[in-house]
Amino acid sequence: MNERRAARAAKILLAFLPLAAVAGCASSPDRPFQDLARAEASIEQADQSGAREFGADELDAAKAKLVKARAAADSNDNLVASRYAKEAALDAELAMAMARTRKSELAVEEVNKGIETLREEIARNQARSGERQ
């Protein structure tokens, strides 16, 4: 990077500083690649682990925030982008956790139902062998 281009870049940065500052009261960081990547990964994982069924609201919120995060990053509003991305990741993780909980609870119900069925069967068998005696 030569001196002149550096100067120009500095000027542009200076020009956009107020905008970024309004959003975050801080200097503008780089595009939040890591935050965006984590949000994307979490959303995909949540999508695949039944969150669409058991944590639909949270998953939708995560997706909406990822869209906002990308848009903010595209307009170099990187602090805002980072916040949206971080929130999106947590929304997706919550959706996933809810799906896991609900699945476990369903499994518990299933097992309990199985036990109930077994007990009824045993009772029937005992009644039958009682009749036979």
Partner 1 sequence: MMERMVRGQKLRLAAVAGMALVAAACTTTPERVAELDEARATVESLERQPKARATASTQLANARQALQRAEAALEQGEPLELIEHEAYMARRHAEIGLEMTSEAEAAEALRQGEARRNQVQLEARTAEAERAERLAEQRASQAERSARQAVASQSVAEAAIGEANRLADELEAEQTNRGLVLTLGDVLFDTGGAELKAGAEVSLDRLAAFLNENPERRLLIEGHTDSRGSDEFNEGLSEDRADSVAEALVERGIATERLRSVGLGESYPVASNDSTAGMQQNRRVEIVVSNDDGTFPESAEERAIATRD
Compare residues 48 and 117 and give the one whose CB is closer to partner 1.
117
Cα–Cα dist 61/87, whole Å: 9
Contact characters 79-98, partner 1, x per CB under 8 A:
----x--xx--xx-xx--xx
For the record, the structure tokens of 73 come out as 């990053």
Q: For residue 112, state whether it binds partner 1 (rule: CB under 8 A).
A: yes
Q: Please check whether residue 30 is in contact with residue 83, taking contact to mean a CB–CB distance below 8 angstroms.
A: no
Nearest to 17 by CA among 78, 102, 63: 78
Smallest distance from partner 1 to CB 70, Å: 17
Q: For residue 71, state whether it binds partner 1 (rule: CB under 8 A).
A: no
Could you tell me which stretch among 13-21, 30-38, 45-53, 66-74 binds partner 1 (CB under 8 A)?
A: 13-21
Q: Is 67 left (phi over 0), alpha (psi -120 to 50) or beta?
A: alpha
Residue burial 93-124, b: 16+ Cβ < 10 Å; e: rest: bbbbbbbeeeeeeeeeeeeeeeeeeeeeeeee
Residue from 1, 2, 5, 129 binding partner 1 (CB under 8 A) = 129
User: Within 10 A of 76 (CB to CB), how many other CB atoms are there?
Assistant: 16
Q: For residue 41, state whether it binds partner 1 (rule: CB under 8 A).
A: no
Where along the sequence are the contacts to partner 1 (CB under 8 A)? 11, 14-15, 17-19, 21-25, 83, 86-87, 90-91, 93-94, 97-98, 100-101, 104-105, 107-108, 111-112, 114-115, 118-119, 121-122, 125-126, 129, 132-133
